[in-house]
Amino acid sequence: MKAKGKASTAKAAAAKAKAPKAGKPVKAAPLSELLRVPEGERLDLSAYDSRSTPAGPANKAEALADLARMGERLADLQERLYAASTSGDRRRVLLVLQGMDTSGKGGTVKHVIGLFNPSGCRIKAFKAPTPEEQNHPFLWRIMKALPERGEIGIFDRSHYEDVLIARVRELVPRSQLGRRYGQINRFEKSLTHDGVTVIKCFLHISNEEQRGRLLERLDRPDKHWKFNPGDIDERALWPAYQEAYEIALERCSTEAAPWFVIPSDRKWYRNWAISKLLLEHLEALDPQYPKAGFDVEESRERLLNGE
């Protein structure tokens, strides 16, 4: 008991030593640190509040106003990223969106990617593999859809389907499934070595929120096209899917390509948080416009002289 008391005292002293002095402004932690899945730690999604708003605006109105401000900065950084690619800069961004049905993958594409110039984006929604895709290794179709240099790529679902639904529906032997986590980690690490910034977002919603969103689709004729009776069958597998996500996030949140858990019951926070993550990563890249490879003054003089 005494040893435990000494340990607690030591922890308290260490915390006090790290605490900022009174009156000294505290710099807010980047959102990427707050939402990042710790590498190598056990994950329990039930411990994550899907209605929380870490470091976010106070309400929807403030979030929309902040999004408008971020939009200008995001558009500028996107243009600089694309411009830099014309001079040989290989860097690009890949945003991976995963989540249960109705978690907002399509909504994120609409509201967040809408802040960018669409000509510089490459969007791919992955469905069930085609017969051709089934004849290749599971990463084959992913590699074909990667963003080119200077682009921002968005995956609505991704290679993680091959360790999620494949696990829940037992589509492959467990021994083969187990190897896929390592293959994914090596694949993503190779992407980062080739200039790809990988941002993986798990859109975390509650079971109750999903029920409400499915009911809304039934209540509105203009949403019927989004509903599939099979969605109800999938809800019965909710615990199995949560476990599959926990395993995937736990095994594949790496230094090179970490996972971020995005509380997504509040759509306005989901959109704000993913926009903020994109902004933080693009600012870290800090792409620059390339210098002119020609004589600017000579070209100006020629134009002024009527050529």
pLDDT at 204 over 70: yes
Is the separation of the CB atoms in 172 and 240 below 8 Å? no
Quick one: what percent of the chain has pLDDT higher than 70?
A: 91
267-285 vs 60-85: helix axis angle to the nearest 10? Answer: 30
pLDDT, mean over the chain: 91
Which tokens in the block code for residue 220?
A: 């509105």
For the residues 122-137, what does the mean pLDDT come to? Answer: 95
**CA 118/CA 162 separation, integer angstroms:** 28
pLDDT at residue number 40: 86
Is the separation of the CB atoms in 143 and 306 below 8 Å? no
pLDDT at residue number 26: 54
Which of the 8 DSSP states describes residue 36?
B
Q: How confident is the model at residue 306 (pLDDT cuts 50, 70, 90)?
A: confident
pLDDT at 108 over 90: yes
Enumerate residues 6+ apart whose C-beta is below 8 A from 83.
150, 287, 289, 290
Q: Could you tell me the pTM of the whole model?
A: 0.89
- R_g (Cα) of the chain, nearest Å: 23
pLDDT at 100 over 70: yes
pLDDT at residue number 212: 97
pLDDT at residue number 276: 97
225-232 — which CB contacts under 8 Å span 24+ positions?
A: 231/101, 231/102
pLDDT in tens, 228-279: 998 899 999 999 999 999 999 999 999 999 999 999 999 999 999 999 999 9
CA triple 24-25-29, angle to 5 deg? 130
pLDDT at 20 over 60: no
Residues listed for the chain: 307
pLDDT at 16 over 50: no
**CA 155/CA 124 separation, integer angstroms:** 5
pLDDT at 4 over 70: no
pLDDT at residue number 5: 43
Which tokens in the block code for residue 9?
A: 């005292």
pLDDT at residue number 24: 56
pLDDT at residue number 10: 36
pLDDT at residue number 113: 86
pLDDT at residue number 15: 40
Enumerate residues 6+ apart whose C-beta is below 8 A from 6.
none
Domains present along the chain, CATH in parentheses: 42-288 (3.40.50.300)
pLDDT in tens, 136-160: 999 999 999 999 999 999 999 999 9
Helix (H, G, I), strand (E, B) or coil at 117: coil
**CA 256/CA 191 separation, integer angstroms:** 9
Q: How confident is the model at residue 18 (pLDDT cuts 50, 70, 90)?
A: very low
Q: How confident is the model at residue 31 (pLDDT cuts 50, 70, 90)?
A: very high
For the residues 20-37, what does the mean pLDDT come to? Answer: 76
